[in-house]
Every structure is written in C-alpha cells, then in structure tokens.
Chains A and B, each alone.
Chain A
Amino acid sequence: MSDPLQVEEPSVGRPPEMPRQRYLLDDTGFDEVPKKYRRFYRKWRGPGDVLAPNEVVCPVCKVVIRSTRELHVGDRVYCMPCMSRLVVARAEDGTLEARVAY
C-alpha cells in the first residue's frame, strides 16, 4: 500500500483546482522492472485487493500501476512490465480504470 505524504481531504467532492494528494512510493518487492522503476508497480493481489487513489490496474498484464499523485480521469500512466501507455478513465461502476492508448 502507498503511504500518503500528507492527507489533505477526501477527493470526493473536492473542487478540481485543489492540489492533488501526493504519495511517497515504497518498494513493494515487484521485481519485473529495473530497480529504479520498481516503486511504480506492484502485484495485483486478487479480487480482495483494494486500490489506493494513486493506483490503477493495467488491463493488459494485470499489474497494479502506482503514481506519486492521486489519479484523475484523463491522466496518463505507463505500464512498464507490458510496455503499455494507458489513460485513466471512469468505469461503469464509478471506480477508476486504465484504458490502453495506442
């Protein structure tokens, strides 16, 4: 799990101009990318896994992608393990999901 550097306020209902919550990423032991990039990824732990506001699952390879900032719709993220560029979108159930942007 990510450790927020500072919890400002819940993102729900926050005006868009408010600064995003930032995260200090720790190494989760993910070993499929070079060491310097490892903190940006972690393994998906299955259906009971809960994503933090700075995380999305890669639809291609099912790895969890992590950012140093809270993710919003329209953000771009990269999945290095499968080399995909993704855009954060709103899923039908209201959660954030990543979609491949070729």
Chain B
Amino acid sequence: MIAVLPVSADTTVPVDIHDLDYDRFLEEVHSFEFWFEAVSGYLTGLTWGHRPGLVDRPRTPEERERLVTVLCNYCVGEAAALEGASGLVAIAPNRLAKVFLATQVVDEGRHLEIFYHRLRDLGVDDPESEVERRASRSLLLFRRRLLELVTSKDWEAAIFAQNVILESLEFAVFASHAKDADPITADLLQGVIRDERRHMGFGENELGRRLAAAPHIRSRLGQTKKELDHLVLDALEETTRLIGLPRDEHERLGRLYLGSVERLGFS
C-alpha cells in the first residue's frame, strides 16, 4: 500500500516544496513577503536583537576590551555591507535582485544598530569614535575597495566582494563566536547569522548563474578575489585572536570561507 500525503491547506504551497518551478521559487524567495514572514519568525519578541531578560556574564577588564574591539570591527563590516547593499540596489540587473537587496539593506541596518547598542551596554559612551579608533585596517581597506566597486557599477565584482566574500566571512566568524560568547552577544549573533544565510546564498547563486551564462567574467572576478583575499584573511586572523579561538578553529573558519568561493570555481 502506498501512503497518500495530505494536500496542503494552503493551495499556493505544493505538497512538496521541491516540486516548485525554479522561476516560481526565485520569485518567492526574493520577495519582500518571504523576507517579512521569515524574519518575523525569529525577530518577534526580541529587544535590541536579543531575548529580553538574558543575564550578562561577568568578565575581566581585559575580556571586556577584547569584546569591545571585536564588536567595533563587526560594526565596520556591517557598515560596509549597509553602504554596499544600498548602493547595489541601483545597479541590480532586475526587479527580484533589487527587492532582495532592499531587504538586505534593512537587515544590515538592524545589525549595525544592535552591535552599537551592545557596545553601549558594555559601557562604551561614544561607540562612533570607539569604532573609528579600534577598526581593523584590513577591514577598512576592504570597505573602501567594496564601495569603489559599487560606485564603478561593477555588479558582478561588487556582489562577489560583498555577498560572497564579506558575508561568508561574517557567517563563519559569527557562528564560531556565538558558540562561546556570553548569552547576550550569542543571542545577537544567532539572529544575525539567520540573516546572513540569505545574504551569502543570494551572492553565491546570483554569481553562479552569471558565471554559467558569461564565463568570460571569471578572470575579472579572480582578480577581485586575489585583491581582497589577504584583507579578508588578515581580518579573520585578527578577529579570531581577539575572540580567543584556538588555531584549529581559525583554520576551520578559513576553510569555511574558502568553501564558498571554491564552489564558484575559484581556488
């Protein structure tokens, strides 16, 4: 006997989502509607990005210093992503990409806001100047180069830099940091990681489709990767040292980051 699956009460959803036509899938996941329902699932009820009532754990002045520096650098990365994503809306090649990037702009704005708020929580009176003072040189250079790519309207290279390179780095670092962070920082990071899945997935898939249709852009993107790789890996080194991750975890994060670019055919 073969079991009969119940028909979904929502007739717009097939019994198996994997039966959706690819165009319809893309239309769905790039929609504002999808984004809104998705983030409502994990952001509803949070205050400044974390569940209310969580108790911070005691830390030594040294540990606080390190956490402040790490959060300042997260702010640099998020500010770069916010500026990058907002600039990319204008040069996105189609409606779906524009709508998706609009949702990413909101995500990045939220990330920046909650990291700034966390700095204030930790007793930083003037987060703006603290971020400026503690920012990693590699991340600042990365941000400048990313914005140059956006300004020059190089869609593929800018998406590569932002949604593949930067987002993959953030995804790997945040996931690792969240495992051992204090309860409030960990909760913040978990919410951010959920957003990052969409951002890096968008970048990898958008570029993968572009590379398949226009293989000649590969060498140009290879140059972009070469140019940005050392900045990213330097930033990774610096951040993992501050978080206090062991060497093997640092290497694992490096491999995670490289995994995304390798799937696109870059070594």
Interface residues of A (CB under 8 A from B): 5-6, 19, 22, 24, 31-38, 40, 59-61, 63, 65, 67-69, 75-85, 100, 102
Assembled-state Cα–Cα distance A38/B17 (Å): 10
Q: How far is the CB of A3 from chain B (nearest CB, A)?
A: 11
The answer to whether B29 has its CB under 8 Å from any CB of chain A is: yes
Residue of A24, A76, A84 touching B201 (CB-CB under 8 A): A84
Assembled-state Cα–Cα distance A78/B208 (Å): 15
| Docked-complex contact A6 and B3, CB < 8 angstroms | yes
| Docked-complex contact A31 and B200, CB < 8 angstroms | no
Other A-B pairs beyond A5-B5, A60-B204, A102-B208, 12, CB < 8 Å = A5-B3, A33-B38, A34-B38, A37-B17, A38-B41, A76-B18, A78-B17, A81-B198, A82-B197, A82-B198, A83-B205, A100-B263
| Docked-complex contact A69 and B38, CB < 8 angstroms | no
Assembled-state Cα–Cα distance A5/B26 (Å): 30
Residue of B10, B25, B38, B205 touching A32 (CB-CB under 8 A): B38
| Docked-complex contact B16 and A69, CB < 8 angstroms | yes
Nearest B residue to A59 by beta-carbon distance?
B263
| Docked-complex contact B18 and A31, CB < 8 angstroms | no
Contacts of A75 in B (CB 8 A): 18
| Docked-complex contact A60 and B201, CB < 8 angstroms | yes
Residue of A36, A60, A65, A81 touching B260 (CB-CB under 8 A): A60
Q: What's the dominant secondary structure at chain B's contact region?
A: helix
Contacts of A36 in B (CB 8 A): 8, 10, 13
| Docked-complex contact A22 and B25, CB < 8 angstroms | no
Q: How far is the CB of B38 from chain A (nearest CB, A)?
A: 5
Encode B12-50 as 1/0 by CB contact (under 8 A) with A. Answer: 010111101010011001100010011001100000000
Q: Which of A65, A67, A84 has the most chain B CB atoms closer than 10 A to its own CB? A: A84
Q: How far is the CB of A54 from chain B (nearest CB, A)?
A: 10
| Docked-complex contact B15 and A81, CB < 8 angstroms | no
Contacts of A33 in B (CB 8 A): 34, 37-38, 41
Assembled-state Cα–Cα distance A3/B8 (Å): 17
Q: How far is the CB of A26 from chain B (nearest CB, A)?
A: 12
The answer to whether B194 has its CB under 8 Å from any CB of chain A is: yes
